[in-house]
Amino acid sequence: MFLKKLKQITILLAGATLGLLFGGCTVGPNFHSPKVTMPKQWSGGMIKAAFTTTQPASVVTKAQSTITTQRAHLATWWTNFHDPELTALIQQAATRNLTILQAQVAIRQARYARDIAAANLGPFVNANASFQRSGTSNNLTKDGGTRSTGNLFQSGLNASWELDIFGGVKRAVQAANYNLAAADENSHTVMITLLSEVATDYITLRGVQQQLFVARTNIHLQQQTVALTRRQFKNGLNTELALADAESQLATTESQIAPLQTQQQQLIYSLSVLLGQPPAALERELSTPRPIPPVPSSVPIGLPAQLLLRRPDVRTAESQLAAATAEIGVATAELYPTFVINGNLGFSSQSAANWFDSNSLNWGIGPSVSWAIFSSGQIESTIHQNEAIRDEYYLAYRQSVLTALQQVDSALASYTHEQQHEKALEAAVKASQQATKLSLELYKAGLTDFLNVLQAQQSLYAAQNSLVLSRLALSIDLVSLYQALGGGWHQNK
C-alpha cells in the first residue's frame, strides 16, 4: 500500500513538472565567444626577416637559431634543450610542486560548487520520524473533566521541487561550469609559470657555474702574470708599481668568486623548493658544473591566431566572461514567479502496533507560487550590477589578448637581438684572446709596456664573462618565448 501511494505521488509530481517545463524558457543573455582581430604575422621589420633567413655562421662556426611560423608543438618544449637533467627536474616539479597541488585542489572546489548548483534542478526529500507522549490540561476540558494522556507515533517523507521554469537554476549551473573551466585553465597557467621558473633557475645556475669557470681560468692566467712580474721585479727588470698592478688585478678577479658561489647556492635552494623539497635536497646533484643548455637550431612558433587556443590565461579570461554572462540570467530569473511542488507521505498512529497500517497513511501534494512583485528596484539593480561585471570581464579578456601578443613580440625581439649580441661577443672573445697572447709575448721580449698586458687580460675576462651572460640570456629568452606562446600543458580537445 505504501509503495502504491508513493508511485502515485511520483507520477503526479512528474506530470506536473513536465507540463510546466515544456512551457519554460531560459532568461538572460546567451554567451558567445568574443571576436578578436589577430595580426597575420608576428611583429615586423628586423624580426620578421629572421623568420625566413638563415643567418651566416659566426666566427666560431655556430649557426644562428632561426624562427619559423610552422605550427608549434609546445607541450614538452624543454626537451628542445636536450638536457636530461633539466627534463628530469621539470617532470618532478610538475607532480611535486605545492603551488600546482593547490591549483588542483581549487579545481576540485569548483567541481563541487558545480555539483551543488546542479542539485537544485532536482527534488529534495526529507525523511522524519518522531514519538510523543502527551497529556491534556484539566482546565481546558468542559466542566473540569479528567486529564487524558496518549501516544503519537509519526513517520514519513516530505518532498519539494522548485521548477526551473525560467532557467535561473540552469544559468547558475552554466556559471558554475564556466567557473570550473576557469579553475582548470588557471591550473594550466600555474603549470606554465612553474615550468618556466624551473627552467630559468636551472639555466641561470649553469650560467653562474660557467661564470665561475671563466673567473677561475682568468685567475690562473693572472697568477702566472703575477709570478712573472715578481721574478722580474726581484731581478730588477720591472718596477714595484707593475707588481702592485698585477696583484691588484688578480685580487679583483678573485673577489668575483664568493658572490657567484652565493648565487649558485641560492639557485639550488630555489630549485629544491620548486620541486617541493627542502632547500638543500638538490645540492649534491646540482653542484657539479655543466654547460648552459644551448638553444635549438630552429624554433617553430606558429601564427598569432593560434595563440588564443594555446594561452590558458586567455582561455581563463574567456571562461570568466562566460560565467559573468550566465550570472545575468540568474539575476533576471528573480523577476519571474517561483513554482514549487510540495508533497508529503507518512504514517500517524497512537499505537506502535498499527503505526505502519494502511489506515495510518496520510499524504498530500500541491503546487505553490511566490512572486516578488515589489522589491524596491533591488532585482533590477542586481541585474545591472551583473551586466557591469560582465563588461568588466570583457575588457579583461581583451587586455589578456593584448598582453599575450605583447609578451610574444617582446620575447621574439629579445631572442633575435640577443643572438646578434652573442655573435659580436664571440668575435670580441676571439680578438681578446689573441691580444692577450700577443701582449704577453711582446712583454716577455721587452717590446711593450706591462700596462698593455694588464689591459689585454682585463678585456679578455670582461669579454668572456659577457659571452657567458649573453648565452645565458639567450637560453632564458627562449624559455620566455615558450612561456609567452603558452607552452607546457596538454590541450584536451
What is the model's pLDDT at position 58? 34
Q: What integer is the mean pLDDT of 247-261?
A: 96
What is the model's pLDDT at position 374? 87
Sheet holding 338-349, edge to edge: 124-135, 149-163, 338-349, 361-370
Please name each of the domains of the chain with its CATH number.
Answer: 24-129+153-333+384-484 (1.20.1600.10)
Q: What integer is the mean pLDDT of 300-327?
A: 93
- Whether 472 has a pLDDT exceeding 90, the answer reads yes
Q: What integer is the mean pLDDT of 3-21?
A: 47
* Grid cell in block for residue 270: 630555489
* Grid cell in block for residue 377: 528596484
**Cα(406)–Cα(306) distance, rounded to whole angstroms?**
15
pLDDT, one tens digit per residue, over 430-461 is 999 999 999 999 988 888 888 899 999 999 99
Question: For all residues of the chain together, what is the average pLDDT?
Answer: 88
- Whether 20 has a pLDDT exceeding 50, the answer reads no
Q: How confident is the model at residue 306 (pLDDT cuts 50, 70, 90)?
A: confident
Taking a C-beta distance cutoff of 8 angstroms, is the pair 487, 310 a contact?
yes
Q: Side chain identity at 90, as an amino acid letter?
A: I
- Whether 65 has a pLDDT exceeding 80, the answer reads yes
Which SS3 state, helix, strand or coil, does residue 276 take? coil
- Whether 229 has a pLDDT exceeding 80, the answer reads yes
What is the model's pLDDT at position 9? 46
What is the model's pLDDT at position 18? 47
- Whether 491 has a pLDDT exceeding 60, the answer reads no
What is the model's pLDDT at position 238? 86
* Grid cell in block for residue 20: 510546466
* Grid cell in block for residue 190: 600555474
Taking a C-beta distance cutoff of 8 angstroms, is the pair 223, 296 a contact?
no
Q: What integer is the mean pLDDT of 318-339?
A: 95
Taking a C-beta distance cutoff of 8 angstroms, is the pair 480, 196 a contact?
yes
Q: What integer is the mean pLDDT of 271-277?
A: 96
* Pairing status of strand 149-163 against strand 124-135: antiparallel
Q: Residue 68: enclosing H or E segment and its boundaries? A: strand 66-68
Taking a C-beta distance cutoff of 8 angstroms, is the pair 436, 456 a contact?
yes
What is the model's pLDDT at position 447? 87
What percent of the chain has a predicted confidence (pLDDT) above 90?
70
Q: How confident is the model at residue 49 (pLDDT cuts 50, 70, 90)?
A: very low
- Whether 136 has a pLDDT exceeding 70, the answer reads yes
What is the model's pLDDT at position 490? 64
Q: What integer is the mean pLDDT of 144-152?
A: 73
Instruction: Please tell me the least confidently modeled range out of 173-177, 252-256, 354-358.
Output: 354-358
What is the model's pLDDT at position 189? 94
pLDDT, one tens digit per residue, over 372-417 is 888 889 999 999 999 999 999 999 999 999 999 999 999 999 999 9
* Grid cell in block for residue 91: 617532470
Q: How confident is the model at residue 52 (pLDDT cuts 50, 70, 90)?
A: very low
Environment class of 97 (CB within 10 Å of its CB; exposed 0-12, middle 13-18, buried 19+): buried
pTM summary value: 0.84
